[in-house]
Structure 1
Amino acid sequence: MRAYAIGDIHGHLDLLKVAQDLVRQDRERTGDTAAPLVHLGDLVDRGRETRGVIEHLMQGQARGEPWVVLRGNHDRLFTGWLTDPHAHDPNLSHEVEWLHPRVGGAATLTSYGIVNPAERNLNQVHAEALLKVPPTHRQWLSRLPVRFLHDQALFVHAGIRPGVDLRSQTEDDLLWIRAEFLNDTRDHGVLVVHGHTAIESATHYGNRLNMDSSAAYGGPVSAAVIEGRHAWLLTPEGRVPLG
């Protein structure tokens, strides 16, 4: 059974459309119009077009595209900030908040027409955001799933906690985990397809496939096709084997 995956987007609508077009080209070659296309989360922050990314994905789902969109940790930070701008996600270091340059929340608010959000009074910026971020965007983001199981692949944003039953994984691990998952070479019973940890290019490690090719730092948004536990990077020239 076939599925497609697209890695972290981070507000780069143009790069997302390039990746989706590569999926479209592969569908034309295979004749498979029904295989799910899974977007692995981190739709928001750092890039300039978060609003456009969210609208594009919402519109695609509304017209019946077989698109699955997962929640990433940045997406959760955004919706959490809209609920309470003074709350602190325990997975962030104490000196870093969502509007910190390292996180990139200011770029997300700017995409909604909020000027200089990181340089103004926090409560005023929050009040403006509640007026300018459409409720439909907030509702859609808050309802995104955190996992998607398809055939022999489990799609999540960050990874899983090794040794824990797949049905018992916590949202914090699915959205935030790094070293404990990345350094574990055991078979997880499925191919774990994930993003979250930026690398130079999509890489298959045998037990997992990392799709985060650093769009947040000047890299592309990558697209891949997964069949069983095998994967191919999609390029303008066609499929390139991964792993």
Structure 2
Amino acid sequence: MHRASAGPSRSVNATTPADTRIYAVGDIHGCADLLSEIIARIDEDIRRRPIAHTIEVYLGDYVDRGPHSKTVIDLLAIRLVAHHAVCLRGNHEAVMEGFLQDPAILQYWLQLGGMPTLASYGVELHDEIATAGEVHRRFLDAFPRAHELFMQCLRNQFRCGDFLFVHAGIRPGVPIEHQDPNDLIWIRDAFLDSTRDHEQFIVHGHTPVPHPDIRHNRINIDTAAWRTGTLTCIAIEGSAILFL
């Protein structure tokens, strides 16, 4: 497991409300051990640098690829209730929600890394051929009520001060209030290639980068935790961004 060292703060052309610090965490993808470490670092940072208001924002993609998706949701559900954390919907949560409703998308989900998620809930796909309907029934039986409630609490966006938090990005040129929810969780090139100033400074994940990518109009903090062992967390206070 690799731990990103805290570096000097970077300043951006945006600011939080007074006496407010926002912690934002990138794509987790079933890495419960890394998430536990980040949560401990957030709690320690708050103890070490107390401030009137703190907000935790998790940018989505909690499940798939990594081995412990169920435990990740267990941990985030506690943060949501006990710390009023903001948990955004990623495209992987959207696909899992889709499978909970419709077994026909099982193969699509598996292509996106759904098998480790099923296994984390005790639904193993062995050599024998199980129908999508059978897998669907077993997953529904294993999916806790607390996780259903957690999924119902997921948001597609969160605004605070001059910052907008989304999973993937926004459609450039479209007012925030008119954004398509599918763009917020799936968009890539049209957003990533845009150099225009948006209404807000965008904090996002979804597209893996070797290191947090800070541009004049956005920051990407998806550092592919499931593959690299580095889960990125930033602390935003005023116009400064600090890497925990």
Q: TM-score per shorter chain, which class? A: 0.7 to 0.9
Residue-pair matches, total: 224
CA distance 1:117–1:223, shift in 2 (3 Å)? farther
Which one of 186, 202, 214 corresponds to residue 196 of structure 2? 186
Per the normalisation by structure 2, the TM-score is 0.86
Q: Hey, what's the Cα distance between the residues in 1 that align with 2:28 and 2:237? A: 23
Q: Distance in 1 between matches of 2:52 and 2:220?
A: 24
Please tell me the residue identity of whatever aligns with 1:145: R
Report the counterpart of residue 26 of structure 1 in structure 2.
45
Q: Give, as a single letter, the amino acid of the residue that structure 2 aligns with 1:85.
A: P
Segment of structure 1 superposing worse, 108-117 or 72-81: 108-117
In structure 1, distance between residues paired with 2:30 and 2:204: 18
* Letter matched to residue 113 of structure 1: G
Aligned match of 1:97: 108
Provide Cα deviations, 1:135-167, integer angstroms capped at 9, x if missing partner. 331232133111000111100000000100011
Q: Give ranges in structure 2 of 5+ residues lacking alignment.
A: 1-15
In structure 1, the partner of 2:104 is 86
CA 44–7 in structure 1, closer or farther in 2 if over 3 Å, else same: same
- Matched with 1:237 is none
Separation in 2, partners of 1:148, 1:184: 21
Aligned mate of 1:139, from 141, 149, 172: 149
Give yes or no for contact 1:34–1:66 (8 Å, CA) kept in 2. no
Measure the CA separation in 1 of the matches of 2:40 and 2:191. Answer: 31
Preserved contact between residue 87 and residue 153 of structure 2 (Cα < 8 Å): no
1:196 Cα deviation from its structure 2 partner: 0.2
> Equivalent residue for 2:91?
73
Distance 1:105 1:117, change over 3 A: farther
Identify which range, 109-118 or 141-150, moves more after superposition: 109-118
| Superposed counterparts of 1:1-243, under 5 Å | 1=16, 2-32=21-51, 34-62=53-81, 64-87=82-105, 97-100=108-111, 103-116=112-125, 120-234=130-244
Q: Which amino acid aligns with 1:110?
A: A
What SS does the aligned partner of 1:97 have?
A: helix
Residue of structure 1 in register with 2:10 after alignment: none
Q: Do the aligned partners of 2:175 and 2:199 also contact (CA within 8 Å) in 1?
A: no
Q: Which runs of 4+ in 1 moved over 4 A?
A: none
Matches of 2:99 and 2:52 in 1, distance apart? 37
CA distance in 2, matches of 1:8, 1:142: 19
Taking the aligned partners of 1:229 and 1:184, their CA distance within structure 2 comes to 22
Normalising by structure 1, what TM-score? 0.87
| Residue ranges of structure 1 left out of the alignment (5+ in a row) | 89-95, 235-243
State the shift of 1:24 in Å. Answer: 2.1
Shift of 1:87: 4.2
Alpha-carbon distance in 1 for matches of 2:159, 2:175: 14
- 1:153-212 deviation per Cα after TM superposition (whole angstroms, max 9, x unaligned): 100000000100011111100000000000001111211000000111212112101010
Q: Which amino acid aligns with 1:158?
A: A
Distance 2:29 2:100 in 1: 18
Aligned Cα root-mean-square deviation (Å): 1.8
Give the superposition deviation at 1:229.
4.2
In 1, distance between residues paired with 2:126 and 2:215?
40
Deviates more, 1:25-34 or 1:125-134: 25-34
Q: Look up the SS of the partner of 1:38 in the other structure.
A: strand
